[in-house]
Amino acid sequence: MIWRFISFKRLNAFENMAIDEAIFRENQRPDSPPTLRFYSWSPPSVSLGYFQATSKEVNIEACRRYSVDIVRRPTGGKAVLHENDLTYAVIASERNPLFPPDILGTYKVISGCIAGGLSELGIEAEMEGDGRSYQDDSLKAVCFSSPSRYELLVKKKKICGSAQLRSKGIFLQHGSILVDFDPLKTCALLLPQQGDGTLQAKKLRGSVTSIHEQIGASVSVENICHVIKKSFEKKLDIELVEGCLTAHEESLKLRLMNDKYMTDKWNMEGKVASDGRKNSD
């Protein structure tokens, strides 16, 4: 089976989310191929889960001081600081025989592909079996404070967080693989200005790890992309062929950027889900 592969790029938060949603929407066309995409964020950005309250779960003033963009994802989940991470996106039909029909089953398959790539780097990641259980309510707005079911742990610390959206027979799953991690900055940006930030950062450090922490900083993002891409091909028995956005996707991306992802109405206020879609974190 042939999939489209969109190779690694560094883009701003608003374009990244517009691209993911454009591919997701256009994948409803019967001739659209499943797609794997890798990207990072420039400038650094905070992405919020679809259902989060921006003013309650992000330190907006700190984001402005650090020149960090804020964007609301189309998927669920918790807030993520995208600065030293690799983000992946998988878009495919719910009826694709490579994936179980349920959300958790899809998580398990995709996590297995990512774990295979990490293994090639010398990092043995295991899937969380039980799901999210917050040890500290002050950290519950932060994605990496605790794992969801079938997310990846290394030595019991979370290294990858993911979220999913389903609508009209198509799913979008995207997630953040930590290349490096700064708990102090994460807490400064993602937590309200209350409590002991140093203590919160220490607690977060105890539940999070990164590729650089595990194997050092010599591995490049491009090499990480390469091994994870190869793992997807091997585990799913697919061929990933490099491609780009279609004309329809490019046009939709631009509209989504201007009308949605670059607006305060979306990023600060959000909206009520009225299209019957299913979000998962």
Show the CA angle centred on residue 87, arms to residues 216 and 272, nearest 5°: 145
pLDDT of 56-115, one tens digit each?
889 999 999 999 999 999 999 899 999 999 999 999 999 999 999 999 999 999 999 999
Distance CA 261, CA 71 (A): 7
pTM, two decimals, is 0.91
Quick check: 3 and 238 in contact, CB under 8 A? yes
Distance CA 166, CA 103 (A): 9
Q: Which residues lie below 8 Å from residue 246, measured CB to CB, with a gap of 6+?
A: 26
Structure tokens at 173: 């799953």
The architecture of the domain spanning 2-280 is: 2-Layer Sandwich (3.30)
Question: What one-letter code names the amino acid at 269?
Answer: E
pLDDT of 194-251, one tens digit each?
555 678 888 889 999 999 999 998 899 999 999 999 999 999 999 999 999 999 999 9
Distance CA 253, CA 256 (A): 5
Show the CA angle centred on residue 121, arms to residues 142 and 155, nearest 5°: 45
Catalogue the long-range contacts made by 247-253 (C-beta closer than 8 Å, 24 or more residues apart).
248/26, 248/29, 249/19, 249/22, 249/23, 249/26, 250/22, 252/18, 252/21, 252/22, 252/25, 252/26, 253/15, 253/18, 253/19, 253/22
Give the pLDDT confidence score for residue 274 in this predicted structure.
43
Domain ranges of the chain: 2-280
Tell me the mean pLDDT in the region 22-51: 96
pLDDT value at 135 more than 80: no
Give the pLDDT confidence score for residue 148 in this predicted structure.
78
Place 147 in a pLDDT band, splitting at 50, 70 and 90.
Answer: confident
Distance CA 142, CA 81 (A): 9
Compute the mean pLDDT over every residue in the chain, rounded to the nearest whole number: 90
Indicate if 143 belongs to the active site: yes
Give the pLDDT confidence score for residue 125 in this predicted structure.
97
Give the pLDDT confidence score for residue 134 in this predicted structure.
44
Catalytic site residue from 143, 160, 187, 225: 143
Tell me the mean pLDDT in the region 166-175: 97
Give the pLDDT confidence score for residue 94 in this predicted structure.
95
Q: Say which range, 21-35, 100-114, 137-151, 189-203, has the weakest mean pLDDT.
A: 137-151
